[in-house]
Homo-oligomer: A and B are copies of this chain.
Amino acid sequence: MKLTKDKELKLEVIRHSAAHLLAQAIMQLYPKTKLTIGPATKDGFFYDMLPEENFKEADLEIIAARMKELVAKNYPITHEEISKEEARRIYKDNPFKLELIDGIAGETVGFSRQGDFYDLCRGGHVASTGLLANFMLTGLSGSYWRADQKNAALQRISGTAFEAKQELENYVKQKELAALYDHRKIGKEMDLFSFQEEGTGFPFYHPKGAFIINKLKDFIRNIWQTHGYQEIITPTVLDVSLWKQSGHYAHYHKHMYFCCIEEKEYAVKPMNCPGSILIYKQNLHSYRELPLRLAEFGHVHRFELSGVLHGMFRTRAFTIDDTHMYCAPEQLEAQIVSSVQTIDKVLTTFGFKQIHYAISTKPENAIGSDELWDTAINALKNGLSKAGKSFEIYEGEGAFYGPKIEVTIFDSMGRAWQCSTVQVDFFMPQNFDIYYINNKGEKQQPVIVHQALLGSLERFFGILLEDCKGHFPFWLCPTQIKIIPITEKQLDYANQIADKLKDLNLRIQIDESSEPLSAKIKVAQLERIPWMLVLGQKEMDNNTITLRYVDGKQEFGLNLEQVITKAKEVNRI
């Protein structure tokens, strides 16, 4: 689900103007700072600069206060064209701006002014600084001139801005919630995973985290089996020639890791497609086998700058539940119906009930005939409709090699995420010259549908962790039930209960520590164990159980059969 084009443009103008506002405050407070560039981004804006003395986090407050004063002054913002010669004179002490001026075509450059401040600028501003009240500064980080580590190290101040006060307040609230339920923080509390400097960006799964990832895989594998997908495993390291053929080497080179084997260059796979295609090519395929759905938990490595890594949300290695469906073109629609239904089922299982669908259509630089595109887009449209889903059209936003379905989910904090993928691909089949034998005995080219249900399992894990604030669905919890004898006198009774629950295949722990009840409960709560069976003298005497939920609600005097019935109910996927 996207903003309207109008709203998007409006936000861009506000945010770009806010970057100028930030720069104005900076130049008033720290006049020796050398400004570089200050663009709007998807979520806000930033300005990169070389300060005389490095800024500290605490400076942001001072800067924001000055920005507020500048808003109150409501300076008109004007824009003009000046000669390059004049611009060079103005910026004679700023090598960054001089370099920017050199890079601009023509004899003049754009120039904006507000009060005592001026900046090199292409234009697109609000009318005056008074319209920029709804901003906030969000962070201070390092960056490089032209994002190249070989160049000068700069500092980046980031922020965001909105049209309405309410929008900013919503944003702030979302940020606060996100910080409170940051998956890196909860993951540490629950001992799920860690990140370590020996492997920046590569997650280490501790036992409970590995358990959950394996459960997610089992869940997906089960869906694969139900729908006739066949699981394969392809190598992690493959010859560079393959990545040249696939086009990844040319277009994705910067994100790939390379190593050398017997003087030949190999790449650690950033994608799973070429491996799947090589397996497809090992056998001759008849139309009777199609759609052939080869699925893989493909562990891929993609380079990301250390500055953009973000816990499980953005790692340098992750596992995709990656299916490549080799279809006859006329099978596309039926496959899409099934794919959409499957995605819907998977996402709702995890509690994501608000799912938005859109189709991205043919872009300008597309390959493949209009006819093929029309067929495919119609298949996507009909597939979504037949699956009972409404959808938007994102005109011209498809990849050059085929249209796709964009699936957006919204978490409990209202944030939008894209996890599932359905991407039609005309290019790879052609590029790798794959075919099947049709019912007339002729060679024919299949279409490939790239499908992921969860996408990156690591990222999905992180999203789910924040969405449910660590309280995973019962079936997914590493420990589902903690039996808590109040004193050691109830330990035997606890063991008896555990023994009687054994055949249910539940994951049960007994707290055998000698801590007081309140401490035992606190530990179980921190571990986000959904059920506690609290056993005191009264429970033992009456042969009952107190069921305490992690949120503190309790049910007293349950007998074992009642607990079993409830457990069976809640343990279903």
- A contact residues vs B (CB 8 Å cutoff): 149, 191, 194, 196-200, 202-207, 209-211, 213-214, 221, 230-239, 241-242, 257-263, 266, 268, 274-275, 278-279, 282-283, 294, 299, 301, 303, 305-306, 316-317
Contact = CB atoms under 8 A, between A and B. Distances in A.
Q: How many copies make up the complex? A: 2
Contact of A199 (B197, B221, B237): B237
A233 B202 CA distance: 11
A551 to B, nearest CB: 27
A559 B191 CA distance: 54
B196 A278 contact: yes
Contact of A211 (B197, B231, B237, B274): B231
Contacts of A213: 233
Nearest to A233: B205
Given A202-B237, A236-B299, 14 more contacts: A191-B283, A194-B279, A196-B282, A199-B237, A202-B238, A204-B235, A204-B275, A206-B232, A211-B231, A213-B233, A236-B317, A237-B257, A237-B301, A262-B305
Nearest to A205: B233
A237 B204 contact: no
Q: Which of A197, A210, A278 has the most CB of B within 10 A?
A: A210
19 contacts: A191-B283, A194-B279, A199-B235, A199-B238, A202-B237, A204-B235, A204-B275, A204-B278, A205-B233, A206-B279, A207-B232, A210-B230, A210-B232, A210-B233, A214-B221, A214-B231, A257-B259, A257-B261, A257-B266
Given A232-B204, A235-B204, A198 B242 contact: yes
A230 B257 contact: no
Chain A interface helix/strand/loop/mixed: mixed
A301 B210 contact: no
A556 to B, nearest CB: 32
Nearest to A202: B235
A275 B207 CA distance: 13
Given A194-B282, A261-B257, A305-B262, A317 B207 contact: no
A198 B266 CA distance: 9
Contacts of A231: 207, 210-211, 214
A259 B240 CA distance: 14
Nearest to A259: B257
Contacts of A211: 231
Nearest to A191: B283
Contact of A278 (B198, B266, B303): B198
A239 B198 contact: yes
B262 A259 contact: no
B238 A207 contact: no
A268 B210 contact: no
B259 A268 contact: yes
Nearest 3 CB-CB pairings of A with B? A202-B235, A207-B230, A205-B233
Nearest to A306: B262
B306 A204 contact: no
A237 B268 contact: yes
Nearest to A507: B225
Contacts of A197: 239
Contacts of A191: 283
Nearest to A209: B233
A238 B202 CA distance: 8
A207 B268 contact: no
A238 B213 CA distance: 21
A335 to B, nearest CB: 18
